[in-house]
Amino acid sequence: MGLKHQTSKNSSSSLPTIRTTSFIILALLLTSFLLFFAPPAHHHLSDPFFQTEDPRFYGDLREAQFAWNKLCLGPVLEKLKLAVFSKTWPVGAAPGGMERHASTLYTALAARGHEIHVFTVPSDRKSHPDIHDGNLHVHFAANDHGSVNCSLAFEIFHKENNGKSFDYVHTESVSLPHWRAKMVPAVAVTWHGIWYEIMHSKLFEQLLSDPQGLRTGSDTELRDAMPRLVDEIKFFPSYTQHICISNSAGEVLTNIYQLPRRNVHVILNGVDDTKFVYDQDAGTRFRKQHGVPSNASVVMGVAGRLVRDKGHPLLYEAFLSITENYPGVFLLVAGTGPWGKRYAELGSNVKVLGALEPSQLSEFYNALDIFINPTLRPQGLDLTLMEAMQCGKTVLTPNYPSITGTVVINEGFGYTFSPNVGSFVEALERAIKDGPAKLHKKGMTCKDYATSMFTSTKMASAYERFFLCMKNSIYCKYPLPTDC
């Protein structure tokens, strides 16, 4: 009886209950983030495990407390045989993200003479013959839905392993699921985004989309967030070695996920440094070609999919507000998506370029005084930031730990803001007041740093040495006589 009464009482007052729950969950999330994600200044003082400053390093690379991209690694004669699990492999049109990263990395490692076997499916989910290109072997193992059939992939894996066994196995995120990874001791996983960071995004999206806490639609998602984190922390140890793509993710894996420090490594993604180059003339041409007024005071640019979770509602509001006080600023928008139309309505201060060919992207970056990335996703590292820096541009971007700990490591590189319109406007004002000359100076700092850290060659060398070190600990020593 009492139970029945209780139930009916609960359901009759379900709305406030849900609101209270969501408030408590939000408060919990906030506390958890505040505890860990300290502001940048504090970040530097607190001497984090994964450092951005260069300590002259001698010793065992497994103890390295910084991104392996920093190392100056020489050529090695020994060749590896590696197995790779990737959710997809790019075919046809050029998709970005994880699959592009995998293809860049493994094409480079195969070119260095290592035998690479990738177990994956084509990105267009259609049927394609396997790829055998020199040392690079891409085995497509799809199920009926076009995603990887793990059993089939393992049949091919064992066949290849029986000839000459693999030295190491690599998986891009959970492409090799954790219950399978448990049976493969020589396995390293690269995390392109972890749930702790995804929760961070969800928090910001919630705060922005529902500042008054009136909507209850996203409650389930918020309520499920913490259990998913717990689940992830429990299954991560199924993988032996962990590679993160930012210093902050490395800190989370050691401090929050409590993985052994020796098994957590940072290797930053790289972009093709032959495609993205500093070229002032190309920038001037691009401006003329696309009608950027010659009296524009500051030319800003944004690139990518023009959708909500890339932060376009924020940039739209902030830019609208800034043009009232600074009519000379100009915004170039590269990409397509629902927000393209709205930008076009902003009038003569904005030019929407649509999708650019990959070859035009470098010219686009060169045409800017400053590159803006308004993303609401603190996980992973947006390649556009690195591309723009490679082209000698300063950046303006949210102050997420993955960015302030790895990319915009101090004010000499650019401008950061909290993901709200007020903070965004304030950062834009700082950049506009600094003006093109100062922006250019910061852009040159970005270029030097990007060239030393974010090139695809640096990334490939780091992964190569990592797998060599996992195969034979002689290679864990740094520097070797062959290193520079």
Which residues of the shown chain bind ligand NAG in the complex (CB under 6 A)? 143-144, 149, 151-152, 155, 293, 295, 327-328
Residue nearest to ligand NAG (CB): 143
**Cα 133 → chain centroid:** 28
Query: Coil, strand, or helix at residue 42?
Result: helix
Q: 8 vs 143, which CB is nearer to ligand NAG?
A: 143
CB of 403 to ligand NAG, least distance (A): 31
**Whole-number Å distance between alpha carbons of 96 and 123:** 11
Q: 328 vs 358, which CB is nearer to ligand NAG?
A: 328
Q: 174 vs 307, which CB is nearer to ligand NAG?
A: 174
CB of 441 to ligand NAG, least distance (A): 23
Long-range contacts, stretch 36-44, CB < 8 angstroms, 24+ apart: 36/252, 36/255, 36/256, 37/200, 37/400, 37/401, 39/399, 40/399, 40/404, 40/410, 40/416, 43/401, 43/404, 43/405, 44/410
Query: Coil, strand, or helix at residue 389?
Result: helix
CB of 357 to ligand NAG, least distance (A): 30
Closest to 85 measured CA to CA, from 118, 39, 129: 118
CB of 150 to ligand NAG, least distance (A): 8
Q: 54 vs 144, which CB is nearer to ligand NAG?
A: 144
**Whole-number Å distance between alpha carbons of 266 and 462:** 9
CA torsion sign for 319, 320, 323, 325 is negative
CB of 149 to ligand NAG, least distance (A): 4
The per-residue DSSP string of 234-248 comes to HHGGGSSEEEESSHH
Q: 328 vs 354, which CB is nearer to ligand NAG?
A: 328
CB of 186 to ligand NAG, least distance (A): 23
**Whole-number Å distance between alpha carbons of 76 and 379:** 33
Helix runs in 37-133, H state only: 40-45, 97-111
Q: 230 vs 437, which CB is nearer to ligand NAG?
A: 437
CB of 431 to ligand NAG, least distance (A): 17
Q: 295 vs 359, which CB is nearer to ligand NAG?
A: 295
CB of 445 to ligand NAG, least distance (A): 28
Q: Which helix (H) or strand (E) holds 421?
A: helix 421-453
DSSP state of 366: H
Q: 131 vs 152, which CB is nearer to ligand NAG?
A: 152
Cβ atoms 100, 192 nearer than 8 A: no
